[in-house]
Structure 1
Amino acid sequence: MRIVKKVAAIAVSLAALTSLSGCVSLFGLFGSKTPHECMTRVMYFESNRSSPDGMLAVGTVVMNRVNSHQFPSDVCGVVGQKNQFADGVLSRQMTEQRSLNLAAQMATRVLRGERHPGVQDAMYFHTAGLSFPYRNMHYVLVAGGNAFYARR
């Protein structure tokens, strides 16, 4: 009986920890999201919903971050970081079916290794047309309504 209680306590602790980052929990339990769902969601909410080019660029930034020691090492951890992507990116409802289908297709391509060549090593983007006074923003691409840049 004590072992069952300890296992249950560990499961609850794991659920709480993984829900904070939006990561996949042990064996997909507790309603957590898969890397594909997290990638689909960030592409859907962060790019022009009809732009495969913009979605691919957003996905490339996410994967650049996954591969950097400065960010979490998994897709859902990167997408779930506070103040990095659109509010509610992991929880809001996706209502445009055509855009959702396109985002899911593009997420599959990115998770299989495809990258936007124009993004290069950029790990940041903001809405195209905005300007900031910082001199360390090296712009590499505008796609899907976003301007992509690396910090130098």
Structure 2
Amino acid sequence: MRTVRSWTGIAALLVAAGCAAAPRAQRVDAEELNCMARAMYFESHRSSREGMIAVGTVVMNRVDSTEFPATVCGVVGQRNQFAPGVMSRDMNSRSLPLALEAAGAVLQGERHPQVETARFFHAASYRAGYNNMHYVATAGGNAFYEKRPPAMVTQPVPLPPSGG
């Protein structure tokens, strides 16, 4: 796995961003931070912190599920689940500090309030033809959804994007 910068530099960015002072502050594993930041960076179109937090919430919902790997890196590295090259491509834009800060915040407990327990998302512009997708949020260019029995789906189309 390729690293973006030295982990000392990443830690300095997180401290500067205020992540170390989070209310539920705890030790953030550098490898898990890297994997989470990669998912956010490549999946949220680097458009907003809200979109990154929403992607991170899905990652953590999957970690907490018995249907997916039990680690952030296991979830993000799972074949055909995230953007191609998510674990190997370079992260080199002005959005990297935001992705690292948001990743640290999610690893310390922050969650997107509308995503709740959703474990799936796709590009907001994509129109799927399935009848079991219950949409809960649209943020950062993605539509987030839960899979439900068709009779339990009350929101069958993506919601309008939320602010941010």
> Same fold by TM-score, threshold 0.5 exceeded?
yes
Q: 1:34 aligns with which of 31, 52, 62?
A: 31
Match for residue 135 of structure 1 among 131, 147, 150:
131
Q: What is the deviation of 1:43?
A: 0.3
Query: Does structure 1 conserve the Cα–Cα contact (< 8 Å) formed by 2:47 and 2:141?
Result: no
More helix by share: 1
Equivalent position amino acid for 1:34 in 2:
E
Pairing of 1:1-152 with structure 2 (within 5 A): 34-96=31-93, 98-152=94-148
| Matched residue SS, 1:134 | coil
Displacement of 1:102 in angstroms is: 0.2
The alignment covers a number of residue pairs equal to 120
**Greater Rg over alpha carbons, structure:** 1
Shift of 1:48: 2.4
- CA–CA separation in structure 1 for the residues paired with 2:111 and 2:92: 26
Unpaired runs of 5+ residues, structure 1, are 1-18, 20-32
Give TM-score scaled by structure 2 length.
0.71
Structure 2: any 5+ residue segments left out of the alignment?
A: 2-29, 149-164
Consecutive aligned runs of 4 or more in structure 1 exceeding 6 Å deviation: none
In 1, the alpha carbon distance for the partners of 2:68 and 2:145 equals 16
Equivalent position amino acid for 1:136 in 2:
N
How does the TM-score come out when normalised to structure 1? 0.77
